[in-house]
Structure 1
Amino acid sequence: MSKVLFVDACARGWEVSRTYAVAEAFMNAYREQHPRDEIEELTLAGLGLAYFTGKELEYRDALLARGGQADDYFKLARQFAAADKIVIAAPYWDLSFPALLKVYIERVSVSGITFSPEPDGRLRGLCRGEKMLLITTSGGDFTHEDLSLYGTALSYLRGICAMFGVDGFDYLWTHGLDIVGNDPEAILRGAKKQAAAFAESW
């Protein structure tokens, strides 16, 4: 049995989000294929997360200095570290993803929980995660673009996986939903089918 953490970073809400629709197809198929797995879902928009202020960083650092990793303040980081698989649903915004996801990652990036600095200056990952999956959608079509420029979300999350000790990174990216002449409903149907098929082996 695996622990699966599903992080919903879809700012528009599940009712209208195309990214969430694809992610939902993946998760429904995953549940069918892995009925014994424990799945936790986080809807970031409902957590009231805010970016760090100087005052809050002082509070956080003081907690860590006295070994307070078990404090409730770090519950999101402990949840992330305990997951065997992480699924993130986040739309493609401005070459990356909504700022709320970055805020969440800053909140789970905690020394002594998700990573540990080594004496030689390197970082050692402490997460038990086997792999992470990003599910994203975009209005434009970036399939022929340089992903080092247009796919910064991918490189960033790969780096986070390396830092936290998550072994693998995959992504499902649905392109072209807002291009004039395209059929967005047909594209979404195909994306959902692809996501469900991918869930069978993930």
Structure 2
Amino acid sequence: MKSILFVNGCIRGEESRTLLMARRFLDCLRGKYEITEVNGLCLPLDREALKKRDRLAAQGNWDDPVFDEARTFLEADIVVLAAPFWEGTFPAAVHAYIEQICVTGLTFGYREDGTAEGYGKAKRAIFFSTRGGIYSEGPNKKDDHAGKFLDSVFRMLGIQRTDVVTAEGLDIIGNDVGLIMDQAVREAELLAGTF
């Protein structure tokens, strides 16, 4: 059975509207895929952890727990990441998760021409996010770096397609938050139908 890696970067836990969308998507695929959920809220690498990781990588010793997140990422057929929209991307703890999975020599490397080559199985990723304002169009569009950033990192890791599902305008006074969330959940369900 093919596998989905669900990276839960929803800092508000089960109260998260982002998590609601992602869980509905995953519910639609339960039984068709084996789903592994990991906590996408990691601590950043400090100097000592990075030194250890570099030493182990130079030895080709990928069995150490410092590489657990990266090894789990490598085995997934599909990657689903859910995180709220914060300051143009998402919480720092999710960036720290990305630092954990980007390991030269394990999850990606460089070809002779300098281009990155990803080593994972996944060719498709889905990013779920909620936003207080409107960032898909209008004057705020230039401030949305979340989807672009993930698309870039995932391409480096070998994922050729990243779908983005967002619920926007949730903090705008007068907006019907229930309706916006219902539409986003429906979009998640329709996307699940493409798998």
TM-score, reference length from structure 2:
0.93
Structure 1 residue ranges without an equivalent (≥5): none
In the alignment, does 2:185 pair up with 1:161? Answer: no
Distance of 1:122 and 1:147 partners within structure 2? 31
Distance of 1:90 and 1:9 partners within structure 2? 5
Distance of 1:99 and 1:22 partners within structure 2? 21
**By how many angstroms is 1:155 displaced?**
1.1
Distance of 1:121 and 1:146 partners within structure 2? 35
Distance of 1:143 and 1:76 partners within structure 2? 31
Q: Which residue of 2 aligns with 1:42?
A: 38
Q: Which residue of 2 aligns with 1:115?
A: 108
**By how many angstroms is 1:122 displaced?**
2.7
SS in 1 for 2:56: helix
Q: Residues 12-38 of structure 1: CA distance to partner in whole angstroms, max 9, x if unpaired?
A: 111x1111111111111122xxx2311
**By how many angstroms is 1:189 displaced?**
1.6
Query: What letter corresponds to residue 113 of structure 1 in structure 2?
Result: L
State the superposition RMSD in angstroms: 1.6
Query: What letter corresponds to residue 19 of structure 2 in structure 1?
Result: Y
Q: In the TM superposition, what are the counterparts of 1:7-156 in structure 2 within 5 Å?
A: 7-14=7-14, 16-31=15-30, 35-45=31-41, 49-145=42-138, 149-156=142-149
TM-score, reference length from structure 1:
0.90
**By how many angstroms is 1:115 displaced?**
0.1
Decide whether the 8 Å contact of 2:108 with 2:117 is kept in 1: yes
SS in 2 for 1:201: coil
Query: What letter corresponds to residue 165 of structure 2 in structure 1?
Result: L
Decide whether the 8 Å contact of 2:88 with 2:146 is kept in 1: yes
Distance of 2:107 and 2:176 partners within structure 1? 42
Aligned length: 195
**By how many angstroms is 1:186 displaced?**
1.8
Distance of 2:140 and 2:133 partners within structure 1? 14
Distance of 2:11 and 2:186 partners within structure 1? 23
Structure 2 residue ranges without an equivalent (≥5): none
State the identity %. 34
**By how many angstroms is 1:92 displaced?**
0.7
Distance of 1:28 and 1:77 partners within structure 2? 25
Distance of 1:42 and 1:187 partners within structure 2? 27
